[in-house]
Amino acid sequence: MAGKVNPYEEMKKMVDKAGKTLCIDPGMVEVLKSPKRELTVNFPVKMDDGSVRVLTGYRVQHNEARGPFKGGIRYHPQVDIDEVRALASWMTWKTAVVDIPYGGAKGGIICNPKTMSVGEIERMTRRYASEISIIIGPTKDIPAPDVNTSGREMAWIMDTFSMHVGFACPGVITGKPKEIGGSLGRPEATSRGLVFCVREAAKKTGMNLKGATVAIQGYGNVGAFAHKLIERDFGCKVIAVSDSQGGIVSEKALRYDEVWAHKQKTGAVKNFPGTKPISNEALLELKVDILLPCALENVITKENAGKIKAKISGEGANGPTTFEADAILAKNGVLVLPDILANAGGVTVSYFEWVQNNYNFYWTEDEVNQKLDSVITKAFHEVWDMHEKHKCNMRDAAYLVAVKRVADATRTRGFYP
């Protein structure tokens, strides 16, 4: 692949495009593209061997026109400021597409947690939480899990923030364990929202999901749960899955329970009995009905977009398809369900968790799932209607919905002073 694609520049292209279609003033478009606040922190962490490492972390707050900032925290060696800017911006558009009262934010630490002990990760997490505590809070900015973080890290952040303010403050973070205020249904929420979108897209295109073939790139939380749900609830036939160590493909259906048990035992999906190995790149190009890219950004580019054979691509990952690739997929008749719609289930149930924390009143898992279905289905049809109105692809339509909502809110609030 040629030079690395800058995800922040990709995001700005989409906002520019939406702004022109909506005839938004160029000055307003610049406001919508620009993060409001960026915090870079360099902090020491004591390692298990007694040495000290200085790590760098970020928290970018993009836009709060429609409500408090909201967005995950990721731990990864390739975290950089432009990636975090892009992710914060996507959160603004994602929350606007599903019409929940948040703005976008994102955080990250440059590290490789796979080489760190639990104690080192905890000390790093707590120090990072302390460093960003000056700009987060239950009415200001509510972080959540992302790549290589989970309920465990969220519990440490909630506890650290609570120690700073002197009382238990569950509403400062979402994606927490249920023992300390986490919402039922949150672990599967991103995947559930994704399969709801696939369900609605299948209705629109006349695809019979029972027996439809599926390939899933990325077998972390989102990809694995998507496998479980799309197999169990709709009878789809998952024939290929992959993770960071490679993938597997089979003519027969890969059963979720068996593949997940194998990954839990061995740490990877590779070498699953009765399958052939396949690379992450080749998996994307399989002839399947449904492709679910659930790994990292920029995996579908202008170099490989013409080789994608799926009828529907549901983006479980953030930014898996570049701006140029989008046009190629549209031309070839691939229906792309864009990330800011397709993976918005996670932030939607995070919103439900925050509401429950604020009221100190909690819902059943069925109530959470029903509310999620209602929000995602409504958002899908609003985006579909925009797609038909403007004769554009679904990503352009999603940005039209989102950018209009944020621009309207910004215009209504006005500029201070």
The catalytic position among 106, 176, 237, 263 is 106
The alpha helices in 290-344, defined as continuous H runs, are 323-331, 339-342
- Show the 3-state SS of 168-237: CCHHHCCCCCHHHCCCCCCCCHHHHHHHHHHHHHHHHHCCCCCCCEEEEECCCHHHHHHHHHHHHHHCCE
DSSP for 120-187, please give it.
HHHHHHHHHHHHHTTT-BTTTEEEEE-TT--HHHHHHHHHHHHHHHTS--GGG-SS--GGGTPPTT-T
**HSE-up of 389 (CA within 13 Å, CB side)?**
13
20 tagged catalytic: no
Alpha-carbon gap, residue 348 to 176, rounded angstroms:
14
Strands 312-314 and 335-337: parallel
353 Cβ contact list (under 8 Å, min separation 6): 174, 175, 176, 181, 182, 183, 186
Name the nearest CA neighbour of 38 among 86, 91, 94, 81: 81
CB 92 within 8 A of CB 399: no
**330 residue type, one letter:** A
Q: How far apart are CA 21 and CA 15, in angstroms?
A: 10
Kindly give, in sequence order, each residue whose CB lies less than 8 Å from that of residue 16, ignoring residues fewer than 6 positions away: 29, 33
CB 315 within 8 A of CB 297: no
3-class secondary-structure state, position 388 = helix
Residues involved in catalysis: 106
